[in-house]
Homo-oligomer: A and B are copies of this chain.
Amino acid sequence: MNKLTLEKIAKLAGVSRSTVSRVVNDHPNVKPEVRRRVQQVIDETGYHPDPAARSLAGQRSGIIGLVIPRAFQFLFTDPYYPRLMQGIAQACNTHNYILSLFLFHTEEEEQKLTPKLLRQQFVDGVILSALPTDDPLISQLIKNEVPTVMIGRPVDTLPVSYVDVSNVDGAFEAVDYLLELGARRIGAIVGPQNTMVGLDRCQGYLNALASRHIPADESLLIESDFSEAGGYLAMQQLISHQPDAVFVASDTMALGALRALREAGMSAPGDIAVVSFDDLPFAATADPPLTTVRQPIRRLGVQAVEMLIDLLQNGLRPPRHFTAPTELIVRQSCGAKIK
């Protein structure tokens, strides 16, 4: 098959391949009428530059890597991730990048693939989904000056760009709403405390109680792992402490919590009011429909790609930050039994 090259386009347009390269790359110093003539040939032929040749010649590869670290591989099947990926993919498509997926299942896989990310032989930059605060991958990426954007904020000391939602505020608003409804003995099922999102949503819960001078009861605060089964087990533990409401740090854990209530012959909101986080589509169709903190997951994905492109074009420093607001979506699960 006869492959289109800069040279071939140059011949058709009656210029040199350097001129064609200037047009393709939108360089200045090309006479307008020459630019038009070259662009017309490009449009007519459907010519695209070869990404391997560009990469080899010092240009970038045009590939963005999305890394799901090993520690949270088990959560990859949570409905959050496809939405995040849709946002990321859509922004990649808009900005002419290809999205490559790095799913680390085992330590061996991680050790095998990490050098590819660190040496940037494949990817121009990395979008890194949430990882435990002590995971060494992020500091390796920083050390190797790999352009990186994290989904979710890192530990404060790390000079890395990130996109996030306002987890502290969102959790605060959820718990505050339960307090407004008259709940007083509010429990929480939070995420892993070795993640910033776990810490932040927990902090929001604690802040809301403190703002009403309600002391936090340790027996009402259960750490879980963002899974449905984890939510189920956590609610089983909480029930015996007789909360009148529970803040659950994700919709998926909330499904598990509702299941535990059903199995105990109880229900939300009659016995225990429930408020969760995410506003995934099943939140609206759960039994009962969940009051939840909506976060703009696809928008985070889009924003991460645009932030990464900004790093690629304008340098890694200073690190960029983007924090989206959340929105409390009130449904049936939060009706409170006021004691």
Contact = CB atoms under 8 A, between A and B. Distances in A.
A119 to B, nearest CB: 8
Interface residues of A, number: 52
Contact of A287 (B48, B81, B262): B262
A61 interface: yes
A99 B101 contact: yes
A98 B85 CA distance: 17
Contacts of A76: 82, 85-86
A93 interface: yes
Given A115-B48, A259-B287, A101 B103 contact: no
Contacts of A66: 101
Interface string A14-58: 000000000000000000000000000000001010111111100
A83 interface: yes
Contacts of A102: 89, 98
Given A52-B61, A52-B121, A287-B287, A93 B77 contact: no
A105 interface: yes
A88 to B, nearest CB: 9
A103 B98 CA distance: 10
Contacts of A51: 52, 121-122
A101 B89 contact: yes
A31 B46 CA distance: 48
Contacts of A52: 51-56, 61, 121
User: 8 smallest A-B Cβ distances: which pairs?
Assistant: A52-B55, A89-B103, A77-B82, A52-B52, A52-B56, A93-B109, A99-B101, A100-B100
25 contacts: A46-B115, A48-B119, A51-B121, A51-B122, A52-B52, A52-B56, A52-B61, A53-B56, A63-B100, A73-B86, A77-B281, A85-B101, A89-B101, A89-B102, A90-B103, A90-B109, A93-B104, A98-B102, A99-B100, A100-B100, A228-B282, A229-B285, A232-B285, A255-B282, A255-B285
